[in-house]
């Protein structure tokens, strides 16, 4: 079904090959996982399989490939995509319509298919992926798990023989991840060939036939889950076995003596429902609190309230016994939001960290800044422009910026989404160091591995 013979590829204006001598054969109906440290070549491999290389991404290509009967060099992208379906990390980025039923019909309409055929395919897809009750729903009102199901239904409605998934669990909670695994297992039983690129590996061990590990653009290892687990640290991979600690960690108390106390906190968005209603919290210092709950429960809203980015409708927030709000909260807290690009503004990595500290009125010296650069593995990147960094490097940088502010409360929203094992370890190590200094750390996360490795308490927000 997929054969790559000595594939080497270099992107335009680059001197180093993204892929070097890759040889791979995937049989019909086989399921494989592709993993490796950030920048190892996983995304480039996917682009060869789905035809984006060489049709969208130009560059120098050497070697031979055969994908679902087509040669990427000879067949058009439309021909390849008729047999190879791709579901990207954020399904919303590949939506073209506003409503679920229209989205499922869009690709078929663009192909000029008969209306009766389109209706049949849409009905099949909605039933197959439990979307019938969401036919008229806006795609923008769906949870991340529902968006993933819509994206999967849209791709599978075209009956591809190969399905490629790129970081499909990065934005999913554990329940949605389990649901996705069940859907993929059914597709595999039906003979669909699966290529799954992901850093999170625990959910794949019972699904895939083998795991491929890439390193420096080369295929460094191919083996079973147990074989790869023995080499995990060598390649900087995530754990293949994770214990779900949700429910086992002690809950944050509603009252008592604490570093940060919240009383009667309430908030509703304009013309919207109440998101936070009468919340009481007592957050201890020196601990890492996992903020858990389904999408829409108000986790990000709570983060914005506690860090002064939103003004509560009622209630008060006390830090070390003193009531604070607005700018006063901003100066005493740090927040790392999900989109790192929105938080990077300076010309160099070093200037970014220095600016963050100065914004919180923290006195700095070159030795202290150098220490932070070292702790986050950024020393060699200190003169680089922040927007030129990889996703993992940007994530480390924004956490370092929050650290530089020496906050009383440090809130991080999904700080390990899309991170490999080595980058996750750096983040965990530094969060523990920040907590040990007396700061209260709150982590909004669906990442079971982060919860297991770092969190000492949990704050569970119920769903709407």
98 vs 92, 126, 421, CA distance in Å?
Answer: 10, 16, 36
Euclidean distance between CA atoms 266 and 278, whole angstroms: 5
pLDDT of residue 141: 82
Cβ atoms within 10 Å of 13's Cβ, excluding its own = 6
Q: Tell me the whole-structure pTM to 2 decimals.
A: 0.85
Residues 265 and 231 in one domain: no
Q: Which residues share a beta bridge with 417?
A: none
Give residues with Cβ within 8 angstroms of 239, minimum separation 6.
201, 202, 232, 421, 449
pLDDT of residue 297: 81
- 322-324 vs 288-292, strand pairing mode: unpaired
Residue 248: inside a domain? no
Euclidean distance between CA atoms 332 and 112, whole angstroms: 58
Euclidean distance between CA atoms 235 and 421, whole angstroms: 9
Residue 41: inside a domain? yes
- Tens digit of each residue's pLDDT, the chain (464 residues): 899 999 999 999 888 999 999 999 999 999 999 999 988 999 899 999 999 999 999 899 999 999 999 998 899 999 999 999 999 878 888 999 999 999 999 999 988 999 999 999 999 999 988 899 899 999 988 877 788 889 999 999 999 999 999 988 887 888 888 988 999 999 999 999 999 999 999 999 999 999 999 999 999 999 999 999 999 999 999 999 999 999 899 999 888 777 889 999 999 988 777 889 999 999 988 999 999 987 778 888 999 999 999 999 999 999 888 888 888 888 889 999 877 888 899 999 999 999 999 888 888 788 999 999 999 999 999 999 998 888 788 899 999 999 999 999 999 998 998 889 999 999 999 999 999 999 999 999 999 999 999 999 999 998 64
Residue 155: inside a domain? yes
Residues 62 and 209 in one domain: yes
Residues 201 and 271 in one domain: no
Cβ contact 453:428 at 8 Å: yes
- Burial readout 366-404 (b: 16 or more C-beta within 10 A, e: otherwise): eeebeebbebbbbeebbebebeebebbbbbbbbbbbbbb
Domain count, the chain: 2
Euclidean distance between CA atoms 146 and 343, whole angstroms: 28
Q: What is the CATH number of the domain that holds 179?
A: 3.40.50.300
Phi/psi at 174 (nearest 5 deg)? -60, -35
Residue 389: inside a domain? yes
Residues 283 and 142 in one domain: no
Residues 281 and 328 in one domain: yes
Residues 272 and 154 in one domain: no
Cβ contact 212:223 at 8 Å: no
Place of tokens 């013309």: 271
Euclidean distance between CA atoms 194 and 86, whole angstroms: 10
Residues 33 and 169 in one domain: yes
Residues 200 and 300 in one domain: no
Phi/psi at 3 (nearest 5 deg)? -135, 120
Residue 246: inside a domain? no
Host domain of residue 187: 2-235
Residue 255: inside a domain? no
Residue 250: inside a domain? no
Residues 217 and 264 in one domain: no
Residues 274 and 220 in one domain: no
Euclidean distance between CA atoms 310 and 86, whole angstroms: 38
Residues 284 and 398 in one domain: yes
pLDDT of residue 463: 62
Residue 241: inside a domain? no
Cβ contact 161:66 at 8 Å: no
Residues 35 and 129 in one domain: yes
């Amino acid at each position: 079904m997929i054969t790559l013979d000595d594939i080497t590829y270099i992107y335009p204006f680059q001197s180093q090959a993204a892929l070097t001598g890759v040889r791979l054969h995937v049989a019909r109906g086989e399921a494989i996982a592709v993993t490796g440290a950030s920048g190892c070549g996983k995304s480039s491999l996917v682009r060869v399989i789905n035809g984006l290389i060489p049709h969208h991404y130009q560059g120098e290509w050497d070697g031979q490939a055969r994908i679902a009967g087509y040669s990427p060099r000879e067949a058009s992208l439309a021909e390849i995509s008729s047999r190879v379906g791709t579901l990207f990390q954020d399904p919303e980025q590949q939506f073209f319509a506003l409503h679920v039923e229209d989205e499922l019909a869009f690709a078929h309409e663009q192909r000029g298919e008969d209306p009766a055929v389109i209706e049949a395919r849409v009905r099949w897809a909605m039933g197959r992926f439990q979307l019938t009750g969401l036919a008229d729903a806006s795609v923008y009102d769906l949870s991340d798990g529902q968006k993933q199901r819509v994206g999967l239904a849209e791709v599978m409605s075209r009956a591809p023989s190969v399905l490629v998934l790129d970081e499909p669990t990065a934005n999913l909670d554990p329940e949605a991840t389990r649901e996705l695994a069940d859907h993929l297992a059914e597709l595999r039983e039906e003979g669909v060939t699966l290529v799954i690129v992901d850093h999170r590996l625990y959910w794949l061990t019972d699904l895939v036939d083998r795991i491929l590990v890439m390193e420096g653009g080369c295929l460094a290892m191919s083996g079973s889950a147990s074989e790869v687990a023995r080499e995990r640290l060598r390649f900087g991979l995530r754990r293949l076995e994770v214990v779900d600690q949700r429910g086992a960690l002690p809950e944050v108390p509603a009252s008592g003596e604490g570093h940060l106390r919240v009383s009667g906190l309430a908030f509703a968005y304009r013309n919207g429902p109440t998101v936070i209603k009468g919340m009481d919290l007592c957050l201890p210092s020196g601990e890492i609190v996992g903020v858990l709950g389904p999408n829409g429960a108000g986790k990000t809203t709570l983060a914005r309230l506690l860090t002064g980015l939103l003004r509560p409708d009622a209630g008060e927030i006390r830090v070390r016994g003193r009531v604070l709000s607005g700018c006063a909260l901003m100066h005493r807290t740090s927040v790392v939001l999900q989109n790192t690009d929105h938080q990077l503004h300076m010309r160099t990595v070093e200037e970014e960290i220095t600016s963050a500290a100065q914004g919180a009125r923290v006195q700095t010296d070159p030795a202290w800044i150098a220490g932070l650069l070292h702790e986050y593995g950024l020393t060699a990147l200190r003169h680089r422009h922040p927007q030129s960094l990889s996703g993992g490097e940007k994530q480390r940088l924004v956490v370092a910026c929050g650290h530089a502010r020496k906050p009383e409360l440090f809130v991080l929203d999904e700080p390990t989404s899309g991170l490999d094992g080595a980058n996750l370890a750096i983040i965990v190590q530094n969060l523990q160091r920040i907590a040990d200094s007396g700061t209260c750390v709150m982590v909004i996360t669906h990442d079971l591995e982060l919860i297991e490795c770092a969190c000492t308490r949990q704050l569970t927000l119920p769903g709407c």
